[in-house]
Amino acid sequence: MAQHKTFLITGAAGNLGSKLKAHWQNTYDLRLLDIDPRGDSAILRADLSTWDLAWVERFRDVDTVVHLAADPKAHVSWTELIRPNVDALINVFQACVQMKVRRLIFASSNHVMGGYKDLAEPFLLTTDLPPKPGTHYVVDGEPRASTPYGSAKLFGERLGKCLSEIHGLSVIAVRIGWVKAGANRPQDIPPERGPWFRLMWLSNRDFCQLMTQCVQADSAIRFAVINGMSANTGMRWDIEYTKKLVGYQPQDDVEEKG
């Protein structure tokens, strides 16, 4: 008989969290946290940027934490990101250590490698390449950069490595591609996004499968960084290591409209 396990999801009312919640809710015991539960009584309101034993206690006797909570806007300033993307991250990681959580799945981002976007040489982006946080793009006609966002995600990866080495916490950081809200279909991707964003698409079912594989992966994994994209034809992102490490088997391709 499989061992009974409890999973905790931060950011459970957000785009990623709500999809994972729906996928897992009839399979696992879930504890759900979000700064804005959006009317969902199953989700505990928690400002993770402020250490509070009321939400820290929810980590007790949890097997795996999936940390999705963050401000998802990639083009905002450090001032806007410090509390939700840095302070909250540190507190969640510390709560995992304090409550002896076995594994932490951290939602890192493709923006950790965004600096490779405009390089002329289209080599494969593996997770052992030097990080280059941030990418440049246009928002409402204005040039923007995602450097603070990408740098905060890189910080989360490195903090995970430190806590793994010091405390034995198993940490898998997933550099998630692009998961649109809602149905998240290839045909809904705005043309102006261009090939860089299009080819890092991650379908809803591939995202949920990847998270499931991460929580079920070999307990001997102490720290790993993996890419999280669908099997997109022509993309620069390497997912062979992801497949090998956690058994990920993506089902979708952004170039297939069926």
21 domain-assigned: yes
**Which residue segment(s) compose the domain that 178 sits in?**
6-246
148-179 exposure pattern, b = at least 16 Cβ within 10 A, e = fewer: bbbbbbbbbbebbbebbeeeebbbbbbbbbbb
251 domain-assigned: no
The domain tally of the chain equals: 1
Task: Give this prediction's pTM.
Answer: 0.94
Structure tokens at 35: 């700064």
254 domain-assigned: no
255 domain-assigned: no
256 domain-assigned: no
Structure tokens at 1: 């008989």
Question: At 126, which CATH number?
Answer: 3.40.50.720
253 domain-assigned: no
Q: Give the number of other Cβ atoms within 10 Å of residue 28's Cβ.
A: 16
Q: Are 112 and 45 spatial neighbours (Cβ–Cβ below 8 Å)?
A: no
Q: Catalytic residue numbers?
A: 149
67 domain-assigned: yes
Determine the residue type at 244. Answer: K
Helical axes 15-24 vs 204-216, angle rounded to 10°: 70
22 domain-assigned: yes
Distance CA 73, CA 87 (A): 16
Q: Find the angle CA(162)-CA(165)-CA(167) to the nearest 5 degrees.
A: 95
- One digit per residue, pLDDT tens: the chain, 258 residues? 345 799 999 999 999 999 999 999 999 999 999 999 999 999 999 999 999 999 999 999 999 999 999 999 988 899 999 999 999 999 999 999 999 999 999 999 999 999 998 886 778 999 999 999 987 766 666 666 679 999 999 999 999 999 999 999 999 999 999 999 999 999 988 887 788 889 999 999 999 999 999 999 999 999 999 999 999 999 999 999 999 999 999 999 999 865
